[in-house]
Amino acid sequence: MSPNEATDDTALVAELRRELVLRCDAAGVVRWACPRARAALGAAVGTLLRDLCAPGTVDKAGAMLEQARAGRVSDWELSLIADGTPKTFTFAGAPDAEDGAWLIGAPVPEHFVRALASVEASMRESTRLHRELVTQKRELERRHAELVRMHSDLDDAHRGVLTLHGEIADHADELRRQGEIKTRVVANVSHEFRTPLHSILGLTQLLDDGVDGPLGDEQRKQVRFIRSSAEDLLQLVNDVLDLTRVEAGRVPMRVERFTLGSFVGSLRGMLRPLVPGGLAVSLRWEEPTPEAELETDRGKLAQVLRNLVANALKFTATGEVCVRAELGEDGQTRFTMRDTGIGIPREELDRIFEEFVQLDSPLQGQHRGAGLGLLISQRLANTLGGAITVESEVGVGSTFTVTVPRLHPEVTVLQAIEARSESAPVGPGSILVVEDDRRSIFIYEKYLTHAGFHVVPARNIDAAKAVLARSRPAAIVLDVMLENETSWNFLADVKRDPATADIPVLVVTVTNSEKKARALGADEFWLKPIDQDRLLRKLKTLAPGSPAPRVLLVDDDERVHYLMRQFLRDTNYKLLEASSGPEGIAMAQQELPHVILLDFLLHDMTAFDVLDELKADPRTRRIPVIIVTSQVLDSADTRRLLAEAEAVVSKEHLSRELAISRIRDALAKAGVSAAPTRPK
C-alpha cells in the first residue's frame, strides 16, 4: 500500500469517528457542547439549535429534540451548517436530568450521501419506469380489446360483403338481361324503320327522275326535301344500329393483315368525294411508311377515320384538313387529323363524345346529324384496343388522334394461347379446338382452362391434322364451316382412322347440319353461341378419363381454404388441403400433387423451411410451388423464393382468374398434362 493510500484511509477513519455532543434545554438552547461541536458548528453555550440547522430542517430538529426529551431516539438525519456548508449528520438522543436532552451526532461521509442520492434517483427512475409499464400494459390491453372488436367487425363485414356480392351478381344479371332486351328492341325497331325508309327513297327517286311524268319545279323541290329528310332519318337509324351493336359487344371483328401504305391509299380514294368544290378547303395526306404492317379490323379502323375526317371537313370553312399516319416504336399506330376549323371550346371537349350532342356554331346548321358519329367512333376505337383524344382551340382548329395497337388485342391473346399450347404437351388433359375465329378461340380458352383443361387451337385443317399426328387429345371441338374450307372430310377422316376414331368430337357451328354431322360420326352437335356449363358437362361426360391435376394448399388460415375451394369448385382440379407445415410436407410426400400453393408464414414454419424439406426429398423435389402471402417481402426474400418457387402471389390480389392462371402456368412449365404414375 502506498503512503498516499494509507493517509486517505486514516482521514476516512477520523471522519467516521468525529462525533459531536450537545446538550440542549427544553427551549432548544445549547447548554453544553463538546470541543468538536464548538469548532465545527460554532455551537457556543447559549446558541439556539435552530440556528445551527441548514435551511429547511429547523422543524425536523425541533421534532428530534422533543422526542429525545421524552425518551431515547436514534438514526435521525439532520442537515447542519458545518464549516460554512450544509452537511448531513446522523443523531441519537436521550433525556437529561433537567428536562433537556443530550444529542450525539456523527457526520455522514460524502460518498455515502452521493450513494444515497444515486439510490434515490434510481428509485425515482424505477418508479417512473413502473408507471410507464403499467400505462403500456393498459394500452396493450385496450388495443387487444380493440383488435378483438375489429376482428368481430371484420367477420361481420366479410359476411356482409359475401351477401352484397350475391346481390350485386343478381343485379348485374338483371341489368344484363335488361340491356339485352333494350338492344333487341332498338335493333328490331331500327330494322323495321329501314324497310319503309328504303321504299320512300326509292319512290322519291322515281318521282325525281320523272318516270311517271315530269314534275313541276315546286313539286321537284318538295320531292327532294322528302328524299333529303328520308336520307337523314336512314343515317340516324344506321347510327343507332351501329351504336347498339357496339354497346352489346356484338360487333363482328374481321382481323386481317395489311400495310399502312395500302390502307391510307384506299382511305384517301374513299374520302376524295367528301372534299367540297373550290379551293376554300383542301384535304392533305402525309405519306406514311408504306411497308409498316398492321393486323387488325381494317373496316372498323376505316370507319373511325372516315367519321373523323368527314367531321373535320364539315366544320372547316377555309384552310385544310391534314391526315397523318405513323407507326410508333411502342407498337401503337397513330392517326392524326388536324384541321383549321372553328374549334371546340375547352369546356365542351368532354361532351362531344356523348350521345346526341351537337355544339352550337354557324356551321352546325348547315350539316344535319344525330350527334352519334363521334360516340360510335370512340366505341369502335375501344373495340380495336385503342382510344381517341382531342385537342382544340376556338378559332384555330382541332386535332383528333386515334391510337390503336398494331396487333389487335385478339391477335395478341391468340398468340399467347398458341404459345401456351406449345409449352405444354398435348395429352389426356388437352382439348383440340378447330376454329378460325379468334374470338371463339379466346372464349373456348377462357371456358376450358378455368375448368382445368389445356386448349390446343388449330385455325385450319392442316394445323389440326398436325396436332393429331403427334399426340392424342381428350376431345375435339370442331367448327365445320372454316373460312375458305369445310371440315366435313376432316370429321370423316378422324372417325374412319382407328387411331383417332374413339376421340370424342363436338361439332359447334353456325349452320344447322346436325344430321350430316351425326352421320359422319360426331358425338355431339350444337349451334353457336356455346354455353359454358353445357360445354363443360358434356366434355366431362365424353372424356371421363381426362386427369384431375392435384393441387395442394398449405395454409393455416381457414378463410384462404374456403376461398380456394370456391375458386376451384367447378374446375378439373382436385384440391388437397393442409393447415400446417409438417402436415403439408407429409401430404406432399404421400399424395405427390402436381402443384403446391404455400403460405409464406405459417404458425409453425416459414416457406423457406417447407421448401427446404420439399427439395431435400427426391419425390417432391420437382413439384412446382407457388408462394401465396400477405406479407410485404423485401427484394432479397423475393429473389430467394423465386429461386426455388414458380411464382409469388399476394393474397391481397388473389382472385379466381389469377389462381387458376398461376396453377395452369406452373403445370405447363412442369410439362404436366396428366397425372404422373405414382412410384410403387
Question: Is residue 579 one of the residues assigned to a domain?
Answer: yes
The answer to whether residues 374 and 399 belong to one domain is: yes
What is the C-alpha separation between 422 and 419, in angstroms, rounded?
5
Strands ordered across the beta sheet of 595-599: 574-578, 550-554, 595-599, 625-629, 647-650
Question: Is residue 115 one of the residues assigned to a domain?
Answer: no
The answer to whether residues 395 and 272 belong to one domain is: yes
Q: Which residues contact 103 (CB under 8 A, 6 or more apart)?
A: 21, 22, 23, 24, 64, 65, 68, 91, 92, 93
The answer to whether the CB of 505 falls within 8 A of the CB of 494 is yes
| Collapsed DSSP state (helix, strand, coil) of residue 664 | helix
Burial readout 273-305 (b: 16 or more C-beta within 10 A, e: otherwise): eeeeeeeebebebeebeeeeebbbbbebbebbb
What is the C-alpha separation between 653 and 454, in angstroms, rounded?
24
| Collapsed DSSP state (helix, strand, coil) of residue 199 | helix
What is the C-alpha separation between 673 and 449, in angstroms, rounded?
12
The answer to whether residues 306 and 371 belong to one domain is: yes
The answer to whether residues 374 and 428 belong to one domain is: no
Using a 10 angstrom Cβ sphere, with 0-12 exposed, 13-18 middle and 19 or more buried, the burial of residue 473 is buried
Q: What is the pLDDT of residue 113?
A: 58
Instruction: Of 271, 240, 232, 277, give the one whose Cα is nearest residue 368.
Output: 232
Instruction: Of 285, 278, 286, 338, give the one whose Cα is nearest residue 312.
Output: 338
The answer to whether residues 424 and 528 belong to one domain is: yes
Strands ordered across the beta sheet of 475-478: 454-458, 430-434, 475-478, 505-509, 524-527
* Strands 397-405 and 332-339, bridge-based pairing: antiparallel
The answer to whether residues 309 and 331 belong to one domain is: yes
Question: Is residue 154 one of the residues assigned to a domain?
Answer: no
The answer to whether residues 268 and 391 belong to one domain is: yes
List 389's β-bridge partners, or say none.
Answer: 401
Question: Is residue 75 one of the residues assigned to a domain?
Answer: yes
Question: Is residue 204 one of the residues assigned to a domain?
Answer: no
The answer to whether residues 68 and 41 belong to one domain is: yes
CATH code: domain of residue 37: 3.30.450.20
The greatest distance separating any two alpha carbons of the chain, rounded to the nearest whole angstrom, comes to 163
State which of 405, 433, 455 marks the end of a domain.
405
The answer to whether residues 536 and 444 belong to one domain is: yes
Q: What is the pLDDT of residue 150?
A: 86
DSSP 300: H
Residue 82 vs residues 22, 107, 108: alpha-carbon distances, Å:
14, 10, 12
**Sign, CA torsion 580/581/584/586:** negative
The answer to whether the CB of 344 falls within 8 A of the CB of 366 is no
Cell of 393: 382551340
Question: Is residue 450 one of the residues assigned to a domain?
Answer: yes
The answer to whether residues 268 and 365 belong to one domain is: yes
Count up the domains in the chain and report the number.
4
The answer to whether residues 504 and 560 belong to one domain is: no
513 phi, psi to nearest 5 deg? -125, 45
State which of 354, 386, 405 marks the end of a domain.
405
Helices (H) and strands (E) in the chain, counts: 19, 24
What is the C-alpha separation between 678 and 674, in angstroms, rounded?
12
Across the chain, which has 680 residues, the per-10-residue mean pLDDT values are: 48 56 90 87 88 88 90 87 84 89 83 65 82 87 87 81 76 69 60 66 74 76 74 64 58 78 85 71 83 84 87 84 86 89 81 62 48 76 87 88 86 68 59 81 76 78 85 85 75 88 87 85 84 77 65 89 84 85 90 88 86 87 88 81 86 78 75 41
Question: Is residue 131 one of the residues assigned to a domain?
Answer: no
The answer to whether residues 557 and 614 belong to one domain is: yes
Can you give the length of the chain in residues? 680
Where do we find the cell 388441403?
577
Alpha helices in 272-395 (DSSP H): 298-314, 373-383
The 3 state secondary structure assigned to 395-462 is: CCEEEEEEEEECECHHHHHHHHHHHHHHHCCCCCCEEEEECCCHHHHHHHHHHHHCCCCEEEEECCHH
CATH code: domain of residue 615: 3.40.50.2300
Question: Is residue 391 one of the residues assigned to a domain?
Answer: yes
The answer to whether the CB of 258 falls within 8 A of the CB of 293 is yes
State which of 108, 141, 175 marks the end of a domain.
108
Instruction: Of 76, 100, 85, 94, give the one whose Cα is nearest residue 40.
Output: 85
Structural domain that includes position 592: 550-669
Q: What is the pLDDT of residue 554?
A: 92
